[in-house]
Amino acid sequence: MTKQDLILLALNPSPILDLMERALYAAGFGVAIAHDRSGLDRSTQEAIPALLIIAEKFDGQDGFSVSSEILERFPTLPIILYADTDTTGLAKSVIKMGLSGYLYPPLKMSDIVDEVQRSLTRARKLGDWLRREVKRTTSSLAEKADFSEAERLKLEAVIANIQDGVIVMDKDKNIILVNYAVNDIFNLDGNEIVGRALAEVIKNADLTALLVRANEGPLKYHEINFDDGRVFNAQYTPIPQIGAAVTMQDISYLKELDRLKSDFIHTVSHDLRSPLTAILGYTELIERTGPLNPNQQEFLRRLQGSIHHITTLVNDLLDLGRLEAGFDTRREIIRLENILKYSLDMFESQVKKKNIKLVVNVVENLKTLRANPIRIRQMLDNLIGNAIKYTSAGGAVYVSVSMQGDQVILKVEDTGPGIPSEEQGRVFEKFYRATNALEGVEGSGLGLAIVKSIVDSHQGRVWVESTLGKGSSFIVLLPTQE
Ligand code: ATP
Ligand code: MG
């Protein structure tokens, strides 16, 4: 025995107690005696006995219930119960309570020592096993912790060094993390910004607008512009249980390409216009120079048709160029319903020819707009023209104008083929034509791009709602004069 095991005896003074004390002492154990319940509690707590022997009746209390209370607190302490008489119930109760063993008279010294040794050996085995298990679990936990710490560091390094800007914030929009790219983009010193409100640390109107717009729904494209010409595309992504992340990519070079392309198109269309006017002029002159045979007349008409077509295209492109460059600054007080009338008049013959049911609904007392009447007419012509063009004969077109607060709402609805949902976001792009509308219907895909530019330059919003096979609604919101 390397260290003396201490046996705690909780028995009322009696010859048996003396016998036990002597027997255990002789066998080389340390022995302590608890004289009452409070002494027992103190000793189990402080002396850390290797085993407890408790009488069936101790200090006026039931040995079983005392044992059960002690086991609650020290589940691995082996306890031997001493009973005055052996009854059939005794063994059962001992087993039920989870005690180590029991003793009853007549007792020899060796009976006591044997029972104690047996209980200790079993307890030791149990203890060893427990310790092994604990060690095994802790080391595997430690391994896991090491592993996840390594993973965390790896991830942190990736986020920190990634070229895209990454900002992670909590639910109250306080900064949790920003990477090096963000420091560069916004010229931050990178210190002492964690925990502070994002809007307070980074004062950028476009970023603030992104945070506001993000509350309204998911957002894929949002441009963040800088005075020095840099442009970033930003996404806002909610992260469950954390908050949200803003990621940003530098798209300055794409913007520059886009500008070059627009400049190029603008120059080319501009330079094409004069020769086109000349060609058209000469084709008209040919007819006056002498009689033409029917074939020649037919060819000339086709020639003129094509020149008109190209001229429209060139004019559209020039318009777009001007609108995008922000040259559309003419503003007058106008009434949308008046301009709408002219536009509808223009389409009257087409509507009749295609036998389309046209329903127009304009609420009374519409507020006036501050707008460019020519552009507004162009916008109406394109939207209504599309609705009539893409709706098959016998279909219907509904045009309505209403008010909501300080906004005029124009809605052009049709019973046409509709636009596939994945393409609805693209129909406002230059030259984009939906895949389902190409057969037989002519167009260059510029009309809606012009509409979008006009609406943008009037601080309005335009979008499409459409169900394939059922029809489309184009909705325009324009702010009223006030
Ligand atoms: P254009 O430059 O002559 O207007 P376009 O009509 O093809 O040519 P947009 O007006 O820009 O071009 O429209 C883009 C595309 O959107 C169309 O090609 C068509 O696929 C789809 N589209 C537009 N309006 C409707 C509509 N009312 N119903 C169904 N599809 C439509
Ligand atoms: Mg069109």
**Chain-centre distance of CA 216, in angstroms?**
13
- Give the mean model confidence (pLDDT) for residues 37-44: 92
Q: How far apart are CA 190 and CA 180, in angstroms?
A: 8
The CA–CA distances, whole Å, from 395 to 359, 360, 387, 416 equal 11, 15, 10, 7
Whether residue 386 has its Cβ less than 6 Å from ligand 1: yes
Question: For position 1, what pLDDT does the model report?
Answer: 46
H or E stretch covering 386: helix 373-390
Q: 383 C-alpha to center of ligand 1: Å? A: 9
**Phi then psi for 143, rounded to 5 degrees?**
-60, -45
* Atom 10 of ligand 1, residue of closest alpha carbon: 447
The SS3 call for residue 239 is strand
- Give the mean model confidence (pLDDT) for residues 325-354: 91
Whether residue 419 has its Cβ less than 6 Å from ligand 1: yes
Whether residue 413 has its Cβ less than 6 Å from ligand 1: no
Q: How far apart are CA 427 and CA 434, in angstroms?
A: 7
Q: 448 C-alpha to center of ligand 2: Å? A: 6
Starting at the edge strand found earlier in the chain, the sheet holding 396-404 runs 357-362, 396-404, 407-414, 471-479, 461-467
**pLDDT one-digit tens code per residue, 407-422:** 999 999 999 999 999 9
**Phi then psi for 257, rounded to 5 degrees?**
-60, -45
DSSP state of 373: H
- Give the mean model confidence (pLDDT) for residues 323-335: 85
Residue whose entry in the numeric block shows the structure tokens 């020592």: 113
For the CA of 434, the closest atom of ligand 1 is 20
Enumerate residues with CB within 5 Å of ligand 2 (an ion).
386, 447
Domains 254-325 and 332-479 in one fold: no
Whether residue 395 has its Cβ less than 6 Å from ligand 1: no
Inter-residue long-range contacts of 296-302, CB under 8 Å, 24+ positions, other chains counted:
none
Question: Per-residue confidence at 218, pLDDT binned at 50, 70, 90?
Answer: low
- Residue 190 pLDDT > 70: no
Whether residue 21 has its Cβ less than 6 Å from ligand 1: no
Q: How far apart are CA 369 and CA 375, in angstroms?
A: 12
Whether residue 416 has its Cβ less than 6 Å from ligand 1: yes
**pLDDT one-digit tens code per residue, 422-454:** 999 899 998 899 988 657 788 889 999 999 999
* Atom 3 of ligand 1, residue of closest alpha carbon: 443
For the CA of 448, the closest atom of ligand 1 is 11
Q: Which of 354, 427, 438 to mutate to test the pocket of ligand 1 (most atoms within 8 A of CB)?
A: 427
Whether residue 420 has its Cβ less than 6 Å from ligand 1: no
Whether residue 437 has its Cβ less than 6 Å from ligand 1: yes
Q: Report whether 412 contacts 361 (CB < 8 A).
A: no
Name beta bridge partners: 397.
Answer: 358, 414
C-alpha triplet 441, 447, 451: angle, nearest 5°: 145
H or E stretch covering 245: strand 243-250
CB atoms within 10 A of CB 203: 9
Assigned CATH for 332-479: 3.30.565.10
Buried-exposed string 111-130: b where 16+ CB fall within 10 A, e elsewhere: ebbebbeebbeebeeeeeee
Q: Report whether 49 contacts 77 (CB < 8 A).
A: yes
- Residue 378 pLDDT > 90: yes
Question: For position 209, what pLDDT does the model report?
Answer: 87
* Atom 16 of ligand 1, residue of closest alpha carbon: 427
Which class would CATH give 6-139? alpha beta
Question: Per-residue confidence at 330, pLDDT binned at 50, 70, 90?
Answer: confident
Assigned token pair, 78: 């082996």
Ligand nearest to the CA of 441: 1
Q: 351 C-alpha to center of ligand 2: Å? A: 16
- Give the mean model confidence (pLDDT) for residues 258-282: 88
Q: 359 C-alpha to center of ligand 2: Å? A: 20
**pLDDT one-digit tens code per residue, 3-29:** 689 999 999 999 999 999 999 999 999
Q: Which of 384, 386, 431, 464 to mutate to test the pocket of ligand 1 (most atoms within 8 A of CB)?
A: 386
Assigned token pair, 208: 């603030």
Fold of 254-325: Helix Hairpins (1.10.287)
Percent of all residues in the chain with a pLDDT value above 90, rounded to a whole number:
57
The per-residue pLDDT of the chain, averaged, comes to 90
C-alpha triplet 268, 269, 275: angle, nearest 5°: 95
Q: 233 C-alpha to center of ligand 2: Å? A: 29
Q: How far apart are CA 216 and CA 318, in angstroms?
A: 36
Q: Is the pTM of this model over 0.75?
A: no
Assigned CATH for 146-250: 3.30.450.20
Residue whose entry in the numeric block shows the structure tokens 């476009």: 206
Q: Report whether 359 contacts 397 (CB < 8 A).
A: yes
Domain ranges, ordered by start, for the chain: 6-139, 146-250, 254-325, 332-479
Q: In 3D, which of 112, 137, 105, 92 has the Cα closest to residue 29?
A: 112
- Give the mean model confidence (pLDDT) for residues 394-400: 96
